[in-house]
Structure 1
Amino acid sequence: MLTITVPASSANLGLGFDCLGLALDLNLTVTIGPKTNTWQVDHPFGADIPNDESNLIVQTARFVDPDIPPHQLVVKSDIPLARGLGSSSSALVAGLFLGHYLVGQTINRHQILQEAAALEGHPDNVAPTILGGLQLTDENKIGVQATPLPFPKDLVAVTFIPDYSLKTAAARAALPTTLALKTAVHQSQHLANLVAACYLGDQKRLMALVEEDQMHEPYRADLAPEFLQIRTLAHHLGLAGTYLSGAGPTVVSLVTKKQADQLLEAINGLNLNGTAMVLAVQQTGTTFTGSLD
């Protein structure tokens, strides 16, 4: 059997609103079983997630070709729903890879990026799930472009996932419709320096710059109160690098491997309602294992 594995993604990294995304080693897998008369999607997510052709993964696969023969699919995922870790983007990307594979097409990641961005509405989550690592995205007249940024090998993501969900629409509604010129200048200057820090390998500077956002995090902080709690806690430990993952409510702190256990223990000591874990950056993007008989 063939298994498609798609990583989670953490968008924005503070300053990179709708243009930066980081792949994290928390995965969705889709195992392709035999052909069936109708689509059958076996999953552990309950009745709210369809198990037939209306499932998002199948719908997306049929976007590639509506005449794809139905198969049995077994879906598993460590990516929590509506937590700011790209669960819907990962499902969408899995569906596109599934569709292209089943119609016998050569897997073209650039083409899949265009399709995924068009379906998702923006590329910051889908680019890292497809390509891995830290991706800087741009939408222009010729389509979506993704530029891989060097990411310090010593950094990991200490990740706190609250027990509650936060819909992207609600998080978007919290944002202002305009920004002051001073804020826009601050954002552009610091984002440019964050990109430079990646290329220079200056992880200390990168960790500090991650906390410089003035565009969205100040307006979303009330929706995810653990965010500022964890950032303040990290500062007490002398650590920078904490940001709101995507639209939230998940909180990510980029720290060195040596610092990760200390911060993880401290977060657990807060007794917050949620799960804290250390995640590596996933560098390969979507992968295939096995074969389809």
Structure 2
Amino acid sequence: MSEPRALKIQVPATSANVGVGFDCLGLALDMMATFTFVPSTDGQLHIEGCESRFCGADNLVWTSYCHTCSELGIIEELLNITIDSPIPLAGGLGSSSACIVAGIAAAYALSGLSLDRERIIQMASSLEGHPDNVAPAVLGGLVCSFSNAGRVWTQRFDVAEELRFVAIVPPYEVRTAEARRVLPAEVPMATAVWQTGRCVAMVRALETGDAELLAACAHDKLHEPYRARLIPDYEALRSAALSSGASAFVISGSGATMLAICKNEQKAAGVRRMLATMESVSAAEGARRGLRIETLQACKTGLKILAG
């Protein structure tokens, strides 16, 4: 008897907002989650590679796959799903979006249908509740997205190859619900004007790698001043990153992950050295931060089917 066919799908981590692009900008990063799908041979659903609490029928990859099968009018099949993901849970790097996109893509691939990236974004946005993470997960690069009359519209931009994004993941979470709750219900007109100009400038700065423009435009007033209060290390890390060579420092999604945006690899290395020094001092004082620090690039490709 031949072995059941295996399907491998890769989905990148994503960073929503990129500071001033609240709920409209999202960036794909080259931290890749790999999902393997094999038809079950024993009539049971099997999920491996994640915490036991996520290994049941409510797993987000599985429920997204089932939802898509229903939408496409195809019969779902029980699967062995293996998740190999370095994306931190609830950390602001799009772990749920990666799972949703992988499940939807699996339904397409296992049924022999060609990937329809626009429709995948529509379905993923419906399941996630917003497109800012799922759109770059599917398309790669920097994506501006918005919804109008029931349709998600996207504009994709390339990101300058020399830019580096130092992801700083603290050993605690910021719950998305809490990060939403601390935001004001209304903002002054002056704040809206401030934000609009800087959001457009951020797109251009990331496209061109213009470090001076990055430094000038990456000053958010809509959400970061409020969400920063939920991240105990924010001010110290921001000060250290900017003083050691980062052009900009932003909260990734709703946090707690933060991104130091650097002009090139050399600048990123300087930021990492400074953060490592902070970690060392903290440990010497008996209070290790437990920071996870990753130097990343923009991911050009987004969702990829590796086999199947």
TM class by shorter chain equals: over 0.9
1:81: which partner in 2? 89
Match of 2:244 in 1: 237
Query: Matches of residues 178-193 of structure 1 in structure 2 within 5 Å?
Result: 178-193=186-201
Corresponding letter in the other structure for 1:65 = C
Q: Match for 1:53 among 25, 37, 57? A: 57
Write out per-residue CA displacement over residues 1-45 of structure 1, whole angstroms, 9 at most, x where no aligned residue: 3210111001101100001111111122111123331221122x3
Q: Distance in 2 between matches of 1:196 and 1:47?
A: 43
Aligned length: 288
- Report the Cα offset of residue 209 of structure 1: 4.2
Aligned counterpart, 1:9: 14
Question: CA contact under 8 A between 1:241 and 1:254: conserved in structure 2?
Answer: yes
CA distance in 2, matches of 1:237, 1:75: 36
Q: Which moved more, 1:73-82 or 1:98-107?
A: 98-107
Give 3-state SS (helix, strand or coil) of 1:189's partner. helix
1:211 aligns with 2:215: no
Query: 1:138 corresponds to which residue?
Result: 146
CA displacement at 1:221 relative to structure 2: 0.7
Secondary structure, in 3 states, of the residue corresponding to 2:99?
helix
State the identity %.
Answer: 34
Cα separation, 1, equivalents of 2:33 and 2:83? 7
Aligned to 2:46: 40
The alpha-carbon deviation at position 193 of structure 1 amounts to 2.2
Residue identity matched to 1:284 = T
Partner-residue secondary structure (3-state), 1:82: coil
1:22-78 deviation per Cα after TM superposition (whole angstroms, max 9, x unaligned): 1111122111123331221122x32221x2332111111010124311121111110
Q: Distance in 2 between matches of 1:165 and 1:126?
A: 20
Matches within 5 A, 1:171-182: 171-182=179-190
Please name the residue that 2:295 is paired with: 278
* Distance in 1 between residues matched to 2:307 and 2:151, nearest whole Å: 32
Q: TM-score, normalised by structure 1?
A: 0.93
Unaligned runs of 5+ residues in structure 1 are none
1:202 shift after superposition: 5.0
Q: 1:18 is matched with which residue? A: 23
The one-letter code matched in structure 1 to 2:68 is V
Paired residues of 1:38 and 1:53 also in contact (CA < 8 A): no
| TM-score (norm. length: structure 2) | 0.89
The alpha carbon displacement at 1:194 in A equals 2.2
Q: Which residue of 2 aligns with 1:112?
A: 120
Give, in angstroms, the shift of residue 141 of structure 1.
Answer: 2.0
Give the C-alpha shift of residue 205 in structure 1.
Answer: 3.6
Q: Distance in 2 between matches of 1:64 and 1:221?
A: 37
Give the 3-state SS of the residue equivalent to 1:175 in structure 2: coil
Which residue of 2 is the match for residue 98 of structure 1? 106
Following superposition, which runs of at least 4 residues in structure 1 exceed 3 angstroms of deviation? Answer: 196-199
Note the aligned Cα RMSD (angstroms).
1.6
